Structure 1
Amino acid sequence: MTTPAPDPRRWWALGALGACMLVLGFDLTILNVALPEMAAQLDADTGEMQWIVDAYVVVFAATMLPAGLLGDRFGRRRMLIAGLVVFLAGSLAGTLADTPAWVIAARTGMGLGAALMTPLALSVVPSLFEGAERTKAIGVITAAVAAGMPLGPVIGGWLLDNYWWGSIFLINLPLAGLGIVACALLLPETRDPNSPRVDPVSAVLSVAGLGALVFGIIEAPERGWADPLVLGCFAASAALIALLARRERQAAHPMLDLELLAHRGFLWNTVAATLVTLVMGGLLFVLPQYLQAVLGYDALGTGVRLMPMMAGLLVAARGAGPLAARFGPRPVVSGGLLTLAFAALLGARTELGDGYAFTAGWLTVTGLGVGFAMVPAMDSALSTLPPDRSGSGSGLLMTMRQMGAAIGVALLGSLLSGAYESRLDTDGLPSAAAAAARDSVVGAQAVGERLGAEAVAESARSAFLQGMGLVLVVCALASLAAAVLVALLLPNRRPGSKSVTDGMDMAPVDRDGGQ
């Protein structure tokens, strides 16, 4: 029996999928450079800016697993097109938004569309490619997402310098439209009737649990950490997540395979990758505000000046694989986390008189730390999984990373907000102007310009810088703690050694690799 000829349209289909994933990649970072301008034009305070970022990430993280299962059961092409339609609708709503709440709603829709697109874009590749071509195709999809992240701040900055802030959403429309047409015409329909059923209760528990946690963290600086609403959110989040974990452990075919966290190789690599994503999410929320409001760069200049971090990340990503192959992942991941801690401590020393050159230096070191920690951690985590659990394991890893990003923006943004507000001097200002200045450093700059009160603007820059220093110290301590835990507890399995699936045991790991 002859093997059917490969579909001649497969490379065109891959190009369309790559374009869709490129959009998702730069949508993770494009908004950050727009936040100061959006805050000024929409009168958004720091909490609302956090929700504009986190609405996308929370929904993305909480719905990615059920979205992938829907595609497996009801047709991957159908659900991928549905995801593109939802993403397009959310982007269109974003271009028309004129209030922070509208932007948050639009970002929520985009997050749902992205959750449908991400796992399904990869899952349709095996139906189009085989053997070496499949490996190459998966590399193209992965590279598209990776390339989009450093492009996001630059594209966003250029759009903001030439058009209105809604243009950062408008750019999604033609690419999403192209993806819809290409998927409809070029992709075959595939499904897996044996995949686990989507559990609506688990899906609701995951969204509600993560949403309550993020809401509590964001509201805490303004209301107080002991406020009944904040404490209630934390208690509700803990209860909902505990119910989710219990339900998933009892399920015959769980959406979230929590048993994988019992295996040290997967657990500690996942912890490392999640911690790095948390730090990156927080930094990409804080840094554009610093570059624009404190150093005075425009949006495009801000995007370009974030590139040293991305350049360091790409350099480290290329070198991390060979180092992990030679020495094992443990020293590379822990070394990357130590490098990230050093970079954060360096950044915490930033003073008002320091120019961009100092910032570029510690941003480059940050990128190196992220690359050396993230790449081998993710590769090592997935390499420990048996083939029949690779899908659930990769889904759990991606979900944990997205949760880390959401919590990073919420937690580090709240630390920044609380420190900024407590250190800002608003003596002598009218109550309305003082409230606007306390909302954000962008608001304080606007108040200073409107009232001719340079002292207020200077106080805002100083207060913001002190808040940023606190954020960076927390990042450094978290990275240092993770580095120690990884160095002590992460199995050091080199490529080709026995995986954790051989016996699925929890035995201690020797320092020379293997179990």
Structure 2
Amino acid sequence: MQAKLQNLSYYKWLIFGVVATGSFMATMTASIVNVGLPPITAALHTDIATAQWVVTAYLLVITSLLPLMGRLGDIWGRRNLYGFGFIGFTAGSLMCGVANSVSMLIGFRVLQAVGAAALMANSMALITSCFPQSERGKVLGVIGTVVALGSLSGPGIGGLLVEHFGWHAIFFVNIPVGLLGYAGVRLILPADRDLSRERIDYLGAALFTASMVSFLLALSYGTAWGWTSLTTMSCVGFALLVFGVFIWYETRIEQPMLELAIFKNITFSAGNLAGFLSFTAMFTNTMLLPFFLHDVLAFSPAKTGLIMSAFPLVMAVTAPVSGTLSDRVGPVLLTTAGLSLMAIGLLVTAKLQLDATLWLIMGAQALMGLGNGLFQSPNNNSVMSAVEPRQLGVAGGINALARNFGMVCGTAVAVAILEYRRVAYLSGLSEPTAGQQVAAFMTGYHDALLVGAGLAVLGALISLKRT
């Protein structure tokens, strides 16, 4: 069966279809669960702080395992790891759907996240290895569209499923998609050849995971714990100490989990740094805009969703075009222009006032979507084309790590600046009025987005000097 398929002229697009299935499922699930948190909290008789771990545990595990999963793909085979990803994700989804306590649900989300990490870390490597250099930008651009559509459709599909079938359905919906994806892996993806005989660096993986989990916990809960509290500082200190041990260890073994020499490649390092900054900047907006629209402007959930959909919709249209262009003109111009447009969009959003029109708000979101669409596909193409074929798995894992780490940092930066400026504005006011509360929020909101714009400008400068 597979031998016959390999003779077809469109075989590489069948491979793309399998990879796109995994990308769509992973991104849709990331956004679909947030819709189900309120009914999950009520049904499992828990509180918001505990229920939030349904999201946090998933994010921590994925981010911590991405480099390891990329490395395993290089050693065990990307087809094998992608199949494992579908199995782990599908099994985790089934178990999440039948969980009858919040502790069980969090535990099964960890299993789901292990599968998702295997999918995320190896998707770009599979595409890059199956498409010629002249088409990589285009196909990575289409993957950008798939990711945008997954993020866009998640809340809508989740709302319908929860309303008509209950919160369990947001996990059960993954099962047929996961089984279809696994069938595609077995029937379509080419067999892995010339696999590495290198050993797996389990100690290095454990050190990296411990360091990353500790640091992400500090970023995620620093505002609640207090940024100078003993708990936060202990998490940061432990993370830095263990990460230092990890770097020391990786430079002294023959077969490390992470070949640190890969970062000597300026194109690779600059692309990942620019990608990290792009997602950090983007998530200052993603995190705070819903609060501005709902709490300050009193927009309905439907209206808020409509406004926020402008970003992924424009990105979905732009990403394939920019990817195709990057095959012809290279990444520098497109990535620099993309991050510059994102910075302008953030600046416009930072200047919004209480009388801002719907079209102005949506226009700023569309501009950011345009900038992100121009940036992501050429940047991913640049990063994945900068390494040797044997390094594609770990390169894809690092690229995905930069993306997820940027999301967490952007969220943490936005909340920290908002809370700091809000508290400073209200200090000395024993009973602030509603108007003063709004003014305090707007002060922090504006400053957070200005910082996001500055990060986007920094990313643009790095993109300009990537070669």
**Among 448, 452, 456, which residue is 1:475 paired with?**
452
Distance 2:62 2:196 in 1: 24
Distance 1:100 1:418 in 2: 32
Q: Assess, with a 3 A threshold, how the Cα gap between structure 1 residues 338 and 326 changes in structure 2: closer, same or farther.
A: same
Aligned match of 1:394: 396
Q: Check the 8 A contact 2:145/2:319 in 1, yes or no.
A: no
Q: Which letter does structure 2 place at the counterpart of 1:483?
A: A
Q: Assess, with a 3 A threshold, how the Cα gap between structure 1 residues 268 and 15 changes in structure 2: closer, same or farther.
A: closer
Distance 1:347 1:163 in 2: 37
> In the TM superposition, what whole-angstrom CA distance separates every residue of 1:85-118 from its partner, at most 9, and x where no partner exists?
3323433454466887666544433221101233
Q: Assess, with a 3 A threshold, how the Cα gap between structure 1 residues 86 and 285 changes in structure 2: closer, same or farther.
A: farther
Distance 1:325 1:96 in 2: 46
Q: Assess, with a 3 A threshold, how the Cα gap between structure 1 residues 359 and 316 changes in structure 2: closer, same or farther.
A: same
TM superposition shift of 1:35: 6.2
Distance 2:377 2:16 in 1: 24
TM superposition shift of 1:402: 2.4
Deviates more, 1:269-278 or 1:75-84: 75-84
Aligned match of 1:499: none
TM superposition shift of 1:467: 3.7
TM superposition shift of 1:292: 4.2
**Partner of 2:251: helix, strand, or coil?**
helix
Q: Assess, with a 3 A threshold, how the Cα gap between structure 1 residues 222 and 480 changes in structure 2: closer, same or farther.
A: same
Q: Which letter does structure 2 place at the counterpart of 1:44?
A: I
Q: Assess, with a 3 A threshold, how the Cα gap between structure 1 residues 29 and 118 changes in structure 2: closer, same or farther.
A: same
Aligned match of 1:356: 358
TM superposition shift of 1:176: 2.1
Structure 2 length normalisation: TM-score?
0.80
Distance 2:27 2:166 in 1: 21
TM superposition shift of 1:462: 5.6
> Structure 1 residue 27 and structure 2 residue 53: aligned?
no
Aligned match of 1:223: 225
Q: Check the 8 A contact 1:76/1:191 in 2, yes or no.
A: no
Distance 2:302 2:158 in 1: 7
TM superposition shift of 1:187: 6.1
Q: Check the 8 A contact 1:27/1:152 in 2, yes or no.
A: yes
Distance 1:186 1:392 in 2: 23
**Partner of 2:255: helix, strand, or coil?**
coil
> Structure 1 residue 279 and structure 2 residue 281: aligned?
yes
**Partner of 1:352: helix, strand, or coil?**
coil
Distance 1:113 1:262 in 2: 30
TM superposition shift of 1:23: 0.8
> Structure 1 residue 44 and structure 2 residue 54: aligned?
no
Aligned match of 1:380: 382
Return the structure number with greater relative CO, CA threshold 8 A, min gap 6.
2
Query: How does 1:88-237 map onto structure 2 within 5 Å?
Result: 88-95=90-97, 104-120=106-122, 144-160=146-162, 162=164, 164-180=166-182, 183=185, 190=192, 192-237=194-239
Distance 1:379 1:162 in 2: 41
TM superposition shift of 1:194: 1.6
Q: How many percent of aligned residue pairs carry the same amino acid?
A: 26
Distance 2:450 2:289 in 1: 14
Aligned match of 1:371: 373
Distance 1:461 1:145 in 2: 35
Q: Assess, with a 3 A threshold, how the Cα gap between structure 1 residues 188 and 158 changes in structure 2: closer, same or farther.
A: same
Q: Which letter does structure 2 place at the counterpart of 1:175?
A: V
Aligned match of 2:308: 306
**Among 226, 245, 250, which residue is 1:243 paired with?**
245
Distance 2:66 2:82 in 1: 12
> In the TM superposition, what whole-angstrom CA distance separates every residue of 1:369-426 from its partner, at most 9, and x where no partner exists?
2122222222222333344444433332222222222332333344445555666799
Q: Check the 8 A contact 1:424/1:460 in 2, yes or no.
A: yes
Aligned match of 2:69: 67
Gapped regions of structure 2 (runs ≥ 5): none
Distance 1:67 1:111 in 2: 12
> In the TM superposition, what whole-angstrom CA distance separates every residue of 1:39-93 from its partner, at most 9, and x where no partner exists?
8986425x974x5544323322221232344455556565444433332343345
**Partner of 2:246: helix, strand, or coil?**
helix
Q: Check the 8 A contact 2:94/2:171 in 1, yes or no.
A: yes
Distance 1:102 1:312 in 2: 38
**Partner of 1:250: helix, strand, or coil?**
coil
Q: Assess, with a 3 A threshold, how the Cα gap between structure 1 residues 141 and 328 changes in structure 2: closer, same or farther.
A: closer
Q: Check the 8 A contact 2:89/2:111 in 1, yes or no.
A: yes
Deviates more, 1:207-216 or 1:321-330: 321-330
Q: Which letter does structure 1 place at the counterpart of 2:213?
A: G
Query: How does 1:489-504 map onto structure 2 within 5 Å?
Result: 489-491=465-467
Q: Which letter does structure 1 place at the counterpart of 2:445?
A: M
Q: Assess, with a 3 A threshold, how the Cα gap between structure 1 residues 173 and 391 changes in structure 2: closer, same or farther.
A: closer
**Among 349, 352, 362, which residue is 1:347 paired with?**
349
Distance 1:214 1:126 in 2: 30
Distance 2:213 2:266 in 1: 28
Distance 1:40 1:61 in 2: 28
Distance 1:40 1:320 in 2: 45
Q: Check the 8 A contact 1:58/1:403 in 2, yes or no.
A: no
Q: Which letter does structure 2 place at the counterpart of 1:231?
A: M
Q: Check the 8 A contact 1:20/1:179 in 2, yes or no.
A: yes
Q: Check the 8 A contact 2:28/2:151 in 1, yes or no.
A: yes
Distance 2:377 2:405 in 1: 18
Q: Which letter does structure 2 place at the counterpart of 1:490?
A: R
Deviates more, 1:70-79 or 1:244-253: 70-79
Q: Check the 8 A contact 1:71/1:120 in 2, yes or no.
A: yes
Q: Assess, with a 3 A threshold, how the Cα gap between structure 1 residues 140 and 299 changes in structure 2: closer, same or farther.
A: same
Query: How does 1:68-87 map onto structure 2 within 5 Å?
Result: 68-71=70-73, 73-74=75-76, 79-87=81-89
- Higher helix proportion: 2
Distance 2:232 2:108 in 1: 25
Distance 2:430 2:107 in 1: 36
Larger-Rg structure: 1
Distance 1:279 1:98 in 2: 38
Q: Which letter does structure 1 place at the counterpart of 2:158?
A: G
Q: Check the 8 A contact 1:202/1:248 in 2, yes or no.
A: yes
Aligned match of 1:484: 461
Distance 2:38 2:295 in 1: 8
Distance 1:37 1:296 in 2: 23
